[in-house]
Amino acid sequence: MQVVVGAAILRAGQLLAAQRSRPAALAGYWELPGGKVEPGEDERAALARECREELGVAVAVGDRVGPEVPISDGMVLRTWSATILSGTPYAHEHAALRWLTAAEISELPWLPADAPLIPHLQRLLAG
């Protein structure tokens, strides 16, 4: 089973969302930043690496958020909370980044894998 990790990056009561630029079928949809865990890599270390690569930030990884979500082809998404330790997020691999309030989260078109996490993300921001 291939684990994909997602980062619920929080700042001042807001969540960082990233808009996909590729592949074409997924372009325009929103997701939590993250990526695949490499063989032998710890999930938290993978998430920290992905945030450095995708966003140019160092993060502190917190607790798991929401359920494990089956994606496809034997892959599962596991989401973790995170806070930025240093750097300013930059969309290296995405079309755009956006900070969202709890109310704004449900307004965006999310990837099918991330959509089941919306109520969990809203609760995380609420409290």
Each residue's pLDDT tens digit, 4-57: 999 999 999 999 999 999 999 999 999 999 999 999 999 999 999 999 999 999
Which of the four pLDDT bands, split at 50, 70 and 90, describes residue 73? confident
Closest CA to 96 of 35, 7, 16: 16
Instruction: Indicate whether this model's pTM tops 0.75.
Output: yes
In angstroms, the Cα distances linking 9 to 40, 74, 86, 116 are 24, 26, 13, 17
Each residue's pLDDT tens digit, 75-114: 999 999 999 999 999 999 899 999 999 999 999 999 999 9
Whole-number Å distance between alpha carbons of 22 and 36:
16
Query: What is residue 81's predicted lDDT score, i.e. its pLDDT?
Result: 98
Within 13 Å and on the Cβ side, how many CA atoms surround 42? 4
CB 29 within 8 A of CB 111: yes
Domain boundaries 2-119, corresponding CATH code: 3.90.79.10
Query: What is residue 50's predicted lDDT score, i.e. its pLDDT?
Result: 97
